[in-house]
Amino acid sequence: MSIPVDPQQWRVGLVGYGEVGRILAEDLRARGLVVAAYDLKLGTAADAPLRAHAGQHAVVLADSHAALVSQADFVVSAVTASQTVAVAEACAPAVTRDAFFLDFNSASPAAKIKAASFIDAGGARYVEGAVMTAITGYRIRVPLLLGGPSAATLQPLLVAMGFDAKVASADLGVASATKMCRSVMIKGLEAMVIESFTAARAYGVEDQVLASLAETFPGIDWEKQGGYFFQRAIQHGRRRAEEMREAAATVRDAGLEPWSAAGTAERQAWVGELAAAGVFGGIDAGREGWRVAADRVLDAKTTRTRE
């Protein structure tokens, strides 16, 4: 089966129908493209929101990786970081020959290279993608770095579809290394703020800490930034923890012990577990402030200690 020259005629297959997959589905459907999706949650007790969204936006839901990619000209893998290689391996036997496979996942260079080996062996064209900031604000226009031998071919086609894509390198791993090294900083800042601010709240010195930070970094509204960082971790801590484990692998592969990245993974996972346990139920730290979230953490800690 030949791939249409015009990307507006492509059949898009989304592997992963979480937050990222649904945003891409909405924006691609708004541009008139045919979109199908597959997610491991389909067929489980947690699939109702996915089916409702698909029905609202006329997205076809497939019942397996193979069923999805065998009918797609363009596949986007948007799953959790730990599933990057597994998804590529699952898709490879059925992927359409010469189809583009865009790996949107926040994974290490080594993981991207291994994923590419499966897809390329299946006859499709693997392109690594590194999403360089949160997709929620930018949607399909999120800054995207591409890598791999087929990156330069795919880039103008993605732009025609509405993406803001730039080629980082023809070599695999460069785009993802850029993403992972940035994540050490960005997700690390989140973890440090959560740890620092919560501890400061416990000692009753939060106002002094914020005043000192404002003096050192006068361009940052630490009150607002704290709320934003808490809320991002509350919403995505588990997913961020997976990304940071990939970042730690990236640092380790460079010959360094990833003390900071590994610690960040643990802190993000910790917030994610608290969120899953309902500790933050009913609050939006981005709107109500980080102090509310920190108090919930401290209350939960006290309650568990007493038990």
Structural domains of the chain, ranges and CATH numbers in brackets: 7-170 (3.40.50.720), 176-306 (1.10.1040.10)
Give the number of other Cβ atoms within 10 Å of residue 301's Cβ: 14
Average pLDDT over residues 53-61: 98
Measured CA distances, 192 to 215, 220, 233, 258, 287 (Å): 18, 15, 12, 15, 20
Residue 306 has pLDDT above 80, yes or no: no
What is the spatial distance between Cα 129 and Cα 81, in angstroms, rounded to a whole number?
Answer: 13
Question: Model confidence over 181-216: pLDDT tens digits?
Answer: 999 999 999 999 999 999 999 999 999 999 999 999
Q: How many angstroms separate the first and last alpha carbons of the chain? A: 63
pTM: 0.92
Average pLDDT over residues 218-222: 96
Give every CB contact of residue 267 below 8 A, 6+ residues apart in sequence. Answer: 191, 194, 195, 233
